[in-house]
Amino acid sequence: MPYLMGLDISTTSAKALLIDAETGQVIASHSTPQPISQPKPLWSEQNPADWWQGMAASIRAVTQAHPDKPIQAVGLSGQMHGLVLLDAAGYVLRPSILWNDGRTQAQCDAMTEQIGFERLIQLTGNRALTGFTAPKILWVREHEPDVYARVAHILLPKDYIRFMLSGDYAAEMSDAAGMSLLDVAQRRWSGEVLAALDIPESWLPTLYEGTQVTGTVNQAAAEATGLAAGTPIVGGGGDQAAGAVGVGAVEEGILSLAVGTSGVVFAPLERYAYEPQGRLHAFCHAAPNLWHFMGVMLSAAGSLQWYRDTLAADTPFDALVDEAAQAPIGSEGLYFLPYLTGERTPHPDPLARGGFIGLTSRHTRAHLTRAILEGVAFGLRDGFELIRASAPNIREVRVSGGGAKSALWRQILADVLDAPLVSVNTTEGAAYGAALLAGVGAGLYSDVQTACHTTITTSDATLPQRSADYAPHYATYRQLYPALKSLVMT
Neighbours of 197 (CB within 10 A): 20
Residue 490, pLDDT > 60, answer no
Task: Calculate the average pLDDT of the chain.
Answer: 95
3-state secondary structure of 238: strand
Q: Are 222 and 271 in contact (CB under 8 A)?
A: no
Neighbours of 467 (CB within 10 A): 14
pLDDT in tens, 14-25: 999 999 999 999
pLDDT in tens, 31-47: 999 999 999 988 999 99
Label residue 402 by pLDDT band (50, 70, 90): confident
Distances 68 to 91, 179, 231, 379, 397 between C-alpha atoms, Å: 36, 40, 16, 47, 37
Strands 188-189 and 206-208, how do they pair?
Answer: unpaired
3-state secondary structure of 68: coil
Q: How far apart are CA 308 and CA 252, in angstroms?
A: 37
Single-letter amino acid, residue 85: L
Q: How far apart are CA 121 and CA 100, in angstroms?
A: 21
pLDDT in tens, 255-279: 999 998 889 999 999 999 999 999 9
Q: Which helix (H) or strand (E) holds 85?
A: strand 84-86
pTM exceeding 0.85: yes
* Least trusted range by pLDDT, from 159-173, 341-355, 462-476: 341-355
Q: Are 395 and 253 in contact (CB under 8 A)?
A: yes
Q: Which of 50, 239, 382, 415 is catalytic?
A: 239
pLDDT in tens, 465-487: 999 999 999 999 999 999 998 87
3-state secondary structure of 245: helix
Label residue 242 by pLDDT band (50, 70, 90): very high
CA 106 from chain center: how many Å? 24
> Between the CA atoms of 325, 338, 41 and 130, what dihedral angle is there, to the nearest 10 degrees?
140
Pick the CATH number of 3-247 from 3.30.420.40, 3.40.50.850, 3.30.300.130, 1.20.120.1200: 3.30.420.40
Label residue 488 by pLDDT band (50, 70, 90): low
pLDDT in tens, 171-182: 999 999 999 999
Q: Are 181 and 190 in contact (CB under 8 A)?
A: yes
Average of per-residue pLDDT across 89-94: 98
Cis peptide before 346 (omega within 30 of 0): yes
Neighbours of 172 (CB within 10 A): 35
Q: Are 303 and 372 in contact (CB under 8 A)?
A: yes
Q: Is 239 a catalytic residue?
A: yes
